[in-house]
Structure 1
């Protein structure tokens, strides 16, 4: 029996490297948003108003419903949360 090793859980779960990278990015953005909401002590209602989404969307974010969020949506939410994204692109390992 051979063991596969992966760089991340997304590499193990997704069918292609492209899908894994997309999920990795969405995951990082969602974690940053959740941390910001917690750090600022925003209620779900406060967060929804600040991030220009509905309260159920904040609930989805807090529950980690990653499949319900696109990269575009998360980038907009991160910006509305007062955060800045630094992008680093390098050759794949």
Structure 2
């Protein structure tokens, strides 16, 4: 489970708008806004979808068990993400990345 503050911070880190997050997560934009503004907490399915989408975009959620408390960080630094993007754009055979 993530908090509205973590959602807002993760969105800022991965540089995605509420509109795009809503579209990719299939959660209404108003629900995301109310969650981030601590007006209302959406159901567990909506939160899970938001979290999964933000993680796919490169956010890593830090659990409460750590000494520093909850938080969010980027999976890759900007330079690592840029190198990965460049490698992925080089062409070649397109295939599923899952290893059996």
- Shorter-normalised TM-score: what interval? 0.3 to 0.5
More strand by share: 2
TM-score by length of 1: 0.48
